Amino acid sequence: MKSRPDRKKSKGPLKTLERVISKAGLGSRTEARRWIAAGRVHVNGKLIQTPDYWVDLARDTVSLDGRPLRAGGKVYLLFYKPKGYLTTYKDPENRPTIYDLISGLTVPVFPAGRLDLDSSGLLILTNDTQFAERLTNPQHKVTKTYQVKAATVLSDEQIEKLRNGVTLSDGPTRPAVVKRVRDGAKHSVIEMTISEGRNRQVRRMLQAVGSKVLKLVRTAIGDVRIGDLAIGSYRPLTGQEIKQLRGC
């Protein structure tokens, strides 16, 4: 049975807590349920961990991470994630997360996509779920560009295999754009652009051609590049950058 305000006393429409969070543009309903279960949501100062808890928006105050929800106000940020930080909100092992670096934000945001613990580079942070879906859904083929330091010197044959696509445990990849940046005595550095977002895809593609990744930095999403942004910092996306990403 759903907990709910007294309808006779209600001044506005009743909505479930997960729907209120989603409609405020803070995340999907799936993400909202996860945040509620994690104890990040309060209603009128009371911890609520039931996603279908009924809320009266005319009189109830809903807060996420101690900040009252405010509908509207879309936020779009370019963030330079450092290596060694998770993109989740909390970690059971108490490892650092990107939220330790963006604690000064007054509006809750979430990453449109992920970078694993050992990777660094460009993340888009937003509260616009439709925008985030466009960037992360493989059907839209939004490109992601990485600078990769390989554990070996890559042959022309290995690079050509990456360009043509390789077969992974979850099926063949799409062709990639691969440029050789430089070769050292023991390592190659390449720039690699893919149009999918599989888990640890670039790392697995390097393994599939007989090498491995030593360093991975995402330098661009679509035509938006990380530029000279300092590591661990963020800035608002420009109107032109948002337009470019919407059109990818």
Active site residues: 116
3-class SS at 190? Answer: strand
**Separation of alpha carbons 40 and 35, rounded Å:** 6
Instruction: Taking the CA atoms of 199, 83, 108 and 38 in sequence, report the sign of the dihedral they define.
Output: positive
Name the nearest CA neighbour of 41 among 96, 93, 60: 60
SS3 content of the chain, % helix, strand, coil (to 5): 20, 30, 50
**Residue environment code for 124-150, b if the CB has 16+ CB neighbours within 10 A, otherwise e:** bbbbbbebbebbeeeeeebebbbbbbb
**Separation of alpha carbons 52 and 204, rounded Å:** 39
